[in-house]
């Protein structure tokens, strides 16, 4: 008797998984035929994927409405990660296909990364490193360094990662506040941080803006030139969420003008950086959309996705549904 088909779809340029699916296999080998398909980001979706009963999708390729209409057997699409903006969740819901994500696998890693970028900016680690390697020093960046307890760490988006970042910032001595209209009343009391009622207030009061909201139609480009203008002169922007939440051009312009003292971006709009001019932007730290990375986090993510796929092919309820 033919087993249901589970397909792991991974872009060719990202070798986050292995062809043998060593993490997923123990959860699925007795209930499904498990295969890995490597695709270019914009490549057509092959028949093997279209025939799947469960799809585990790494970052890309896009699963739009036209693709979803051709999924005749699919019982679940699982985004191997937190963000699900590469899947048309409305079209999937209309087709009766649950879309699930793995929202908790990289909570520690991304929150740690956000604070690492923040501390690198506040303590001027990279300029000091460069100066020290010139075989002598004058501590030219001393005026840019700040005592953390005098600074306000503002968080946009207070889900799992935003909350974890708040606890870390609070432990480091920052005054910590957040804006998120969707979290329950009293959340700030439980965590011991301050809540503000508008994005404008968050921006005006923050010395560092740390972005932790999902990419949705509402949040796409939500931080642009008017919002950056509301930030204090000499403030920092940190983004470990999604690049398209923060508009790249006004951030780079504010770094060049000096309105922003620095930016720490694990993600950028239309990533990666496109030109030498972008890469030469002053006071900019960029990492490679890698905040989620750790061996432990990757195993946790892949295991969770495999467990959801197993439930789906067995006809059991799935969890972490976003549509």
Q: Which positions are annotated as active-site residues?
A: 242, 271, 289
Task: Check the CA dihedral 165-171-177-182 and report its sign.
Answer: positive
154 within 8 A of 208, measured Cβ to Cβ: yes
In which residue are the tokens 């972008």 written? 278
Q: How far apart are CA 313 and CA 290, in angstroms?
A: 31
Burial of 101 (0-12, 13-18, 19+ CB in 10 A): buried
Helices (DSSP H) in the chain: which residue ranges? 25-28, 47-50, 65-68, 89-94, 107-122, 125-132, 160-171, 187-191, 199-205, 225-230, 248-257, 276-279, 295-313
Task: Check the CA dihedral 148-155-192-292 and report its sign.
Answer: negative
Percent of the chain as helix, strand, coil, to the nearest 5? 35, 20, 45
Q: How far apart are CA 109 and CA 291, in angstroms?
A: 6
In which residue are the tokens 């309105």 written? 259
165 within 8 A of 175, measured Cβ to Cβ: no
> For residues 181, 186, 187 and 191, what is the CA-based torsion angle, rounded to 10 degrees?
140
252 within 8 A of 284, measured Cβ to Cβ: yes
Q: Beta-carbon neighbour count of residue 104 at 10 Å?
A: 17
297 within 8 A of 106, measured Cβ to Cβ: yes
């Amino acid at each position: 008797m033919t087993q249901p088909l589970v397909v792991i779809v991974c872009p060719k340029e990202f070798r986050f998984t292995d062809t043998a699916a060593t993490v997923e296999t123990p959860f699925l080998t007795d209930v499904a035929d498990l295969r890995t398909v490597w695709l270019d980001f914009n490549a057509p979706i092959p028949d093997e994927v279209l025939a799947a009963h469960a799809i585990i999708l790494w970052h890309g390729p896009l699963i739009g409405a036209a693709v979803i209409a051709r999924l005749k057997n699919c019982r679940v699409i699982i985004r191997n990660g937190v963000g699900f903006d590469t899947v048309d969740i409305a079209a999937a819901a209309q087709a009766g296909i649950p879309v699930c994500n793995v929202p908790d696998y990289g909570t520690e890693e991304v929150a740690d990364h956000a604070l690492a970028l923040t501390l690198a900016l506040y303590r001027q680690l990279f300029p000091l490193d460069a100066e020290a390697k010139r075989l002598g020093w004058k501590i030219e960046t001393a005026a840019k360094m700040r005592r953390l307890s005098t600074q306000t760490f503002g968080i946009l988006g207070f889900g799992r990662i935003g909350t974890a970042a708040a606890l870390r910032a609070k432990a480091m001595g920052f005054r910590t506040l957040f804006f998120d209209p969707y979290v329950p009343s009293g959340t700030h009391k439980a965590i011991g941080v301050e809540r503000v009622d508008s994005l404008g207030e968050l921006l005006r009061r923050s010395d560092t803006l740390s972005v932790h909201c999902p990419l949705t139609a509402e949040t796409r480009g939500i931080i642009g030139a008017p919002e950056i203008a509301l930030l204090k002169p000499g403030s920092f922007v940190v983004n470990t969420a999604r690049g398209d939440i923060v508009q790249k051009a006004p951030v780079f312009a504010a770094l060049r003008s000096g309105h922003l003292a620095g930016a720490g971006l694990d993600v950028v709009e239309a990533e990666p950086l496109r030109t030498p001019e972008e890469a030469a932007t002053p006071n900019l730290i960029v990492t490679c959309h890698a905040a989620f990375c750790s061996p432990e986090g990757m195993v946790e993510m892949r295991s969770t996705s495999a467990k959801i796929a197993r439930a789906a092919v067995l006809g059991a309820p799935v969890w972490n549904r976003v549509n």
